[in-house]
Amino acid sequence: MSSLLIKDLRKSYGGVEVLKNINLEAESGEFVALVGPSGCGKSTLLSMIAGLESVTSGEIRIEDRLVNDEAPKDRDIAMVFQSYALYPTMTVRENMSFGMESRRIPKAEQAETIARVAALLQIEPLLNRKPSQLSGGQRQRVAMGRALVRDPKLILFDEPLSNLDAKLRIEMRTEIKKLHQSVGKTTVYVTHDQIEAMTLASRIAVMYKGVLQQYDTPKTIYEQPVNKFVAGFMGSPNMNFLSATIGESDGARGVVLDGGDGAVLPLPEGRAGGLRPGQKVIFGVRPEHFSAPQEQRAERRGERSVIVSAMVDLIEPTGSETILMTRIAGQTAVVSCEPDDAPAEGAVIGLAVDMNKVCLFDPATELRL
């Protein structure tokens, strides 16, 4: 049984359609991340699931029950807000008991639940404090605690980590993942941060301009993006998009970079089907799929690589890796490499391109070929 089912969902404000025909399904216990740039409709979708926004057309079902017109309180959901939305005049304990009081749960049971959840989140020492006396990370924990005491069918997160500083964000990300593993509640998590989506989710829904672009596992989304938008949005640094043409050498189809020396970069077997010579394509390579030729990275896996020559314009060391801003066939490309292997600025180097990992897109439709 699916825990959440969204069918042909649409939302318009006046004449403006902000969500177009969304179809989504989450299995029980699944962690779904809604990800996309701001204005893509992901928060609207979450608000509609929560019952804070009305449904224009389509269906939302929670555990098979149609909830389109149900009030938020009757949907058996809990939500963690970006601003945490802790009730400022209440203590942490009162914040957690407020929802249970509204549902007339006996006092003894309330205390028991709060004790259990507080232990789980390690917020016992904070129970008598007011939200203003808590740090950002503590508020985040309390907000999650408030969601958990309800024992809901569905937990909704609305960009819960955006208000934290970078270090704490990564810590809390791990906490949320651990929490989800131990509690096992179906979760819908809205974020604009593709790394959060990749690390947390069992399935990712990538949204753009009100349209669900792709809904799949993080691995599939990353390796087989359906279109250029998904490919560019997921991954940091971004995937490189080089304009190219399909060429042929020794009977094998390959890619010829526009503005280069005309060398054909042969595609692996089975990838060239449906491509005709002379066809314009976008050649998509992720920064980490370039490597130094002597490493033989692809070959050690039994795959093939081809070597292109790149002019290094700029290097950006980040510590764990070094980012090279290069030009390949006159087109800019970002390459990541080991800090110890980083070339000097201005050097011309050979780079092995992992041809099994590259993506080809149609320049007109931007769909993956």
Partner 1 sequence: MAEAAHIEFNPLATGSRRRQLTSKTIIYLCLTGFALMYLLPVVIIFLNTLRPLDAIVREGFIAWPESVTFSHWAEAWGSFCIGGTCEGVSRFYQNSLMMAVPATILSTAIGLVNGYILSKWRFKGANFIFGVVTLGVFLPAQMTLLPWAFVLGNLGLSNTISGLVLIHTIQGLSFTTLFCRNYFINIPDDLIKAARIDGAGFWRIFRRIILPLSPPILIVTVIWQFTGIWNEFLFGTVFTSGANQPITSAIVAFSGSGTGERHYNVEAAAVLMSAIPPLIIYLVGGKYFVRGLTQGAVK
Contact footprint for partner 1 (CB under 8 A): 50-52, 71-73, 77-79, 81-83, 85, 87-90, 98-99, 102-103, 132, 135-136, 146, 150
The residue (of 100 and 358) whose beta carbon lies closer to partner 1 is 100
C-beta of 155 vs 200, nearer to partner 1: 155
In degrees and rounded to multiples of 5, residue 171 shows phi and psi of: -60, -50
Determine the Cα–Cα distance for residues 35 and 40; give it in Å rounded to an integer.
9
Closest approach of partner 1 to the CB of residue 164, in Å: 12
Q: Residues near 61 by Cβ (< 8 Å), separated by ≥ 6?
A: 2, 4, 5, 6, 7, 67
**Of residues 72 and 232, the one with the C-beta less far from partner 1:** 72
DSSP string computed for 12-81 = EETTEEEEEEEEEEEETT-EEEEE-STTSSHHHHHHHHHTSS--SEEEEEETTEE-TT--GGGS-EEEE-
Class of residue 80 by CB neighbours under 10 A (exposed 0-12, middle 13-18, buried 19+): buried
Element (H, E) at 147: helix 136-148
CB closer to partner 1 out of 134 and 212:
134
Q: How far is the CB of 292 from partner 1 (least distance, A)?
A: 47
Nearer to partner 1, 98 or 168 (CB): 98
In whole angstroms, the minimum distance from the beta carbon of 298 to partner 1 comes to 49
Token pair in block for residue 11: 């939302």
How many Å apart are CA 165 and CA 329, to the nearest integer? 40
CA distance 44 to 32: 15
Residue whose CB is less far from partner 1, 77 or 349 = 77
Query: What is the widest separation between alpha-carbon atoms in the chain?
Result: 80
The Cα–Cα gap between 60 and 40 comes to 19
CB of 114 to partner 1, least distance (A): 14
Reply yes or no: is the peptide bond before residue 125 cis, omega within 30 of 0: no
Q: Least distance to partner 1 from the beta carbon of 131, Å?
A: 10
- Residues ≥6 apart with Cβ < 8 Å to 53: 11, 44, 47
CB of 87 to partner 1, least distance (A): 6
Question: Between residues 153 and 327, which has the closer beta carbon with respect to partner 1?
Answer: 153
Residue 296 burial (CB count, 10 A) = 12
Sheet with 186-191: list strands edge to edge: 77-80, 154-158, 186-191, 31-35, 203-208, 211-216
Residue 151 Cβ vs partner 1, minimum distance, rounded to whole Å: 13
Rounded least distance, CB 146 to partner 1, Å: 8
- Please report how close the Cβ of residue 169 comes to partner 1 at its closest, in angstroms: 16
Whose Cβ is closer to partner 1: residue 70's or residue 223's? 70
Q: Which is nearer to partner 1, 79 or 265 (CB)?
A: 79
The dihedral sign for the CA sequence 182, 184, 187, 191: positive
- Give me the residues paired with residue 322 across strands: 317, 337
